[in-house]
């Protein structure tokens, strides 16, 4: 697999020949997250952006913006005529943060904006957030993306592969 240099992520254009979550989209998102996660772990900060389609229905991944330890304000990609998804990392591993799955705010924000979302975790999980259905789903599990060297497996307990918004709310309420 050819890696996209982090600097090139500012305007990566890939053919979008199938609907959301096509093999091409998943491959592009994984490729985008790989170098971004390394920076996120080192800085202990979230990095985020938006994904759109250009006038030729090609996927455009916006340049990542550095956020705080638990929040980030994404920017839209240049040349996008339609925004289809958000993306962000969950920063470095922290015993006090339940960062191995998207938060309620992550899913609710995408639902409010009418887009889908992608979240990468310190354990190397990749999540898809369905902004219309209000459901999160693991696209690939533990270690499918680069893991934070400080990551400790099992701290958050068993991680479900799919949850609705209501289930996610109950999960975080304890």
Domain coordinates of the chain in residue numbers? Answer: 6-173
pLDDT band at 32 (very low <50, low <70, confident <90, very high): very high
CA dist., res. 94 & res. 76, Å (int): 29
Q: What is the pLDDT of residue 1?
A: 32
Would you state the pLDDT for residue 157?
86
Residues 6+ apart with CB under 8 A from 78: 10, 11, 60, 62
For residue range 61-78, list pLDDT tens digits in order: 999 999 999 899 998 998
Is 46:86 a contact under the CB 8 Å cutoff? no
pLDDT, tens only, 93-119 = 998 888 999 999 999 999 999 999 999
pLDDT confidence band for 3 (50 / 70 / 90): very low
**Residue 15 — pLDDT band, cuts 50, 70, 90?**
very low
Q: At what angle do helices 165-173 and 104-113 cross, to 10 degrees?
A: 150
What is the pLDDT at residue 19? 39
**Structure tokens, 128:** 């898809």
Global pTM reads: 0.87
Q: What is the pLDDT of residue 174?
A: 77
């Amino acid at each position: 697999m050819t890696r996209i240099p982090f600097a090139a992520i500012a305007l990566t254009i890939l053919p979008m020949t199938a609907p959301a979550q096509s093999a091409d989209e998943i491959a592009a998102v994984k490729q985008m997250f790989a170098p971004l996660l390394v920076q996120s772990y080192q800085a202990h900060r979230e990095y985020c952006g938006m994904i759109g389609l250009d006038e030729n229905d090609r996927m455009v991944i916006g340049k990542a913006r550095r956020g705080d330890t638990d929040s980030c304000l994404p920017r839209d990609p240049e040349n996008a005529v339609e925004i289809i998804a958000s993306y962000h990392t969950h920063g470095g591993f922290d015993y006090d943060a339940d960062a191995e799955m998207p938060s309620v705010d992550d899913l609710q924000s995408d639902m409010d904006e009418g887009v889908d979302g992608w979240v990468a975790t310190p354990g190397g999980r990749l999540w898809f957030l369905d902004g219309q259905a209000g459901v999160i789903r693991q696209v690939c599990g533990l270690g499918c993306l680069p893991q934070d060297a400080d990551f400790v497996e099992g701290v958050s307990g068993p991680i479900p592969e799919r949850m609705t918004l209501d289930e996610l709310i109950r999960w975080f309420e304890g």
